[in-house]
A and B are shown apart, each in its own frame.
Chain A
């Protein structure tokens, strides 16, 4: 059992990419959303069963900036390089929010590498009836309540009032998100290719999500045939910070074959 991450830095085409790792066994890669403020300790229970790998995207957290990133595919190909560098051929992939958009994009082209896929409150679809909240225009004083149904998860992580350094950290990560999401936070071409997600796939959502409405799960399910769904009551957008059940759901789904 692992109680903390080890950290290493990879040189990925000249971009210093920080990778957190814990545990051993089957590789389970977690692709985070458009912010790293709450950290990833809530995922550590997964390290009891898997080799948990949490990279920081370029432009986020501890990884270096890559101003040449302009599309979600740039991140998807970045991770194909990361997996090659780490010598990982097959893996299970969990993507949250923007990381879900990224994971779906990556898995469409890398079907043979992704053994199992979890899309947790994924960004990436245009659903006019239940639109994704535009993250760039949420008033600052309402941001946290949009992110999570449980404000206690921010204690000790978000200074009140925000310090200049904290604001600059947010500005940097929002800038990185803007590089791929400013024009539109989805890809209208994505539904056309989601049928390629033939690996076992779990759609996981909190029904109190105020960023990406839970109703979008139906649209994903229409396109990803045979996907399992799991909706967590009372849970908001930062479901892994808010809910131990969300973490357990990932472990159970990804480990299904292993525990047989």
Chain B
């Protein structure tokens, strides 16, 4: 059986936080949905866009296989409410790396438009794109003019996925007649560069519904916002259901997401990373349950499960030790980090490791140091676990 390390690939993710925390931070119950936008300074925003582009370009230079972007709305958590716009910029700023856009919640757009924008990106980049399709957090549903009913979000999301897939694979013009969408002439132009279409992932938070959707649509699956233990449970379920459907889960069908900080020693790493990662959870993850779970976004049973769980209800108050204990964070020396990530990759059966190396209010120098050490000291250690010569060729193999 081939090892997951034979084609191990590293995805460098960048949140694009608006990193400044207001002096009166304690006055705000939420960093999402209703945080006053007067707190945004466009000159500061411009500087941050420039900084994060530098980090992502450095990622390419350091040999990461892919860079990854996502989308959120009404929040300092992310400067990317229009992720395709950012992705187009990064396509022009890079030459080799894959770009994973993970991505526009289809429900917040028109599926035909998502198919068009993504096909444009794939053609412009010469086939370097991968796409993750999220349902969108509960917070996104508060941010969109009341036109988007969270109680029907999952049914609408399913149709949106069908439209995107049909737009990319059925000869156009074709018709789509659904409960939410009725296309008389679905005829997406341009068509994607990659055939039959760019790699697709469903991005979920481990719920049964999204796992099933990924199996049904035969996409890959990725879990965000949740600890590694829950990610692994969701992957096990994904693998089980995929087998039930008569297929095998390939290592590239699963993406695990991790917060990583590497330094010379374990103690150095914790000392350098801890304040920024704690700030990430205490500020950027500050969101009250009412925004997290709009009516109908989850079933009543799931809602009860979540409000009954102290860990979930008190998510933003989690301590460093809690976070390390539940395995959201890989923080330590190159050996420590390589061992942890390798272990998780093997356990998940994945060859796709998405890492967040620039997080919270971490200054650029520290992010650059972290990225450089990760690329030079951790990546080779993990690649070395593959069968002898497999590792170095993987980067070139993905370029068109």
User: Judging by beta carbons under 8 Å apart, are B149 and A178 in contact?
Assistant: yes
Q: A178-B151, A182-B146, A182-B149 are in contact. Are A171 and B308 (CB under 8 A)?
A: no
Say if the beta carbon of B28 comes within 8 Å of chain A: no
Min CB distance B310 to A, Å, is 10
Question: Which residues of the other chain, B, contact A177 by a CB distance below 8 angstroms?
Answer: 295
Residues of A within 8 A of B146 (CB): 182-184
A48-80 to B contact mask, C-beta < 8 Å, 1/0: 000000000000000001010010000000000
From residue A162, how far is it (CB to closest CB) to chain B in Å?
Answer: 9
Mark contacts of B143-163 with chain A using CB atoms, 8 A cut-off: 1 yes-contact digit, 0 otherwise.
Answer: 000110111100000000000
Output the least CB separation between B299 and chain A (Å). 9
Query: In the docked arrangement, what's the CA distance between A177 and B193, Å?
Result: 44
- Would you give the shortest CB distance from B129 to chain A, in whole angstroms? 33
CA distance A235 to B152 in the complex (A): 36
Q: Does A136 sit within 8 A of B, measured CB to CB?
A: yes
In the assembled complex, how far is the CB of residue B244 from the closest CB belonging to chain A, in whole angstroms? Answer: 25
In contact, A174 and B295 (Cβ under 8 angstroms): yes
Which residues, 100 to 137 on A, are CB-close (under 8 Å) to B? 136
A165 contacts B149, C-beta separation under 8 Å: no
Contact among A178, A179, A183 for B147, CB-based, below 8 A: A183
A175 at the interface (CB under 8 A from B): yes
Interface residues of chain B: helix, strand, loop or mixed (majority)? helix
The CA-CA distance from A201 to B294 in the complex, in Å, is 36
Interface size on A, residues (CB 8 A): 19
Tell whether, in the assembled complex, residue A175 and residue B304 are in contact, meaning their CB atoms are under 8 Å apart: no
B293 contacts the other chain (Cβ, under 8 Å)?
yes
Q: From the candidates A136, A140, A171, name the one contacting B303 in the complex (CB within 8 A).
A: A171
* Per-position binary interface string of chain A over residues 156-180, scored 1 when its CB falls under 8 Å from any chain B CB and 0 otherwise: 0000000011011001101101110
Q: Mark B293-323, 1 if CB is under 8 A from A, else 0.
A: 1111000100110011000000000000000
Q: What 1/0 flags go to A12-45 for Cβ under 8 Å of B?
A: 0000000000000000000000000000000000
Residue among A164, A182, A184 facing the most chain B CB atoms (10 A cut-off):
A182
Asked if A179 and B307 sit within 8 Å, CB to CB, the answer is no
B290 within 8 A of A: yes
Please determine whether B149 and A179 come into contact, CB atoms closer than 8 angstroms.
yes
Please pick, from A168, A182, A184, the residue contacting B151 in the complex, using a CB distance under 8 A: A182
Q: Are B304's CB and A164's CB within 8 A?
A: yes
Considering only CB atoms, which chain B residue lies closest to A139 in the complex?
B290
Q: Which of B147, B296, B307, B308 has a CB less than 8 Å from the CB of A175?
A: B296
Could you tell me the dominant secondary structure of chain A's interface residues?
helix
Q: List which A175-197 residues lie within 8 A (CB) of chain B.
A: 175, 177-179, 182-184
- Contact check, B295 vs A175: say whether CB atoms are below 8 A apart: yes
Complex Cα distance A136/B295, Å?
A: 8
Known: A70-B152, A184-B146. A179 touches B304 (CB 8 A): no
**Interface set, chain B 150-190, CB cutoff 8 A to A:** 150-152
Size range of the chain B interface in the assembly: 10 to 19
Nearest B residue to A182, CB-CB: B149
Shortest CB-to-CB span from B315 to chain A, Å, is 15
Write the nearest CB–CB distance from B292 to chain A, whole angstroms: 12
CA distance A171 to B138 in the complex (A): 14
B307 in contact with A167 (CB, 8 Å):
yes
Taking a contact as CB atoms under 8 Å apart, the answer to whether A178 and B307 are in contact is no
Cβ–Cβ < 8 Å partners of B290 in chain A: 140
Taking a contact as CB atoms closer than 8 A, the residue among B151, B300, B303, B308 that contacts A179 in the complex is B151
Interface residues of B in 123-155 (CB under 8 A from A): 146-147, 149-152
- CB pair B149–A175 under 8 Å, yes or no, is no
Residue numbers in A under 8 Å from B296 (CB-CB): 175, 178-179, 182
Complex Cα distance, B151 from A178, in Å, reads 7
Residue in B146, B147, B293 with the greatest tally of chain A CB atoms within 10 Å:
B146
B150 close to A178 (CB less than 8 A):
yes
Residues of A within 8 A of B303 (CB): 167-168, 171-172
How far, in whole Å, are A178 and B303 apart by their CA atoms in the complex? 15
Question: Which residues 308-340 of B have a CB within 8 angstroms of A?
Answer: 308
Collect the chain A residues with CB atoms within 8 Å of residue B307's CB. Answer: 164, 167-168
Q: How far is the CB of A35 from chain B (nearest CB, A)?
A: 12
Given contacts A140-B290, A177-B295, A178-B295, A172 and B300 within 8 Å (CB-CB): yes
Contact partners of B149 in chain A: CB under 8 A: 178-179, 182-183
The minimal Cβ–Cβ distance linking A89 to chain B, given in whole angstroms, is 34
Q: With the chains together, A168 CA to B302 CA distance in Å?
A: 9
B residues near A65, Cβ cutoff 8 Å: 300
Chain B residues proximal to chain A, CB less than 8 Å: 146-147, 149-152, 290, 293-296, 300, 303-304, 307-308
A-B contact pairs, 25 of them (CB 8 A): A65-B300, A140-B290, A164-B304, A164-B307, A164-B308, A165-B304, A167-B303, A167-B304, A167-B307, A168-B303, A168-B304, A171-B293, A171-B295, A174-B295, A175-B296, A178-B149, A178-B150, A178-B151, A178-B294, A178-B295, A179-B149, A179-B152, A183-B147, A183-B149, A184-B146
Binding site for B on A (CB under 8 A): 65, 67, 70, 136, 140, 164-165, 167-168, 171-172, 174-175, 177-179, 182-184
Task: Across the A-B interface, give the 6 residue pairs with the lowest CB-CB distance, nearest first.
Answer: A168-B304, A178-B295, A175-B296, A174-B295, A172-B300, A175-B295
13 further A-B contacts with Cβ under 8 Å, apart from A165-B304, A168-B303, A179-B149, are A70-B152, A136-B294, A168-B307, A171-B293, A172-B303, A175-B296, A178-B150, A179-B151, A179-B152, A179-B296, A182-B149, A182-B295, A183-B149
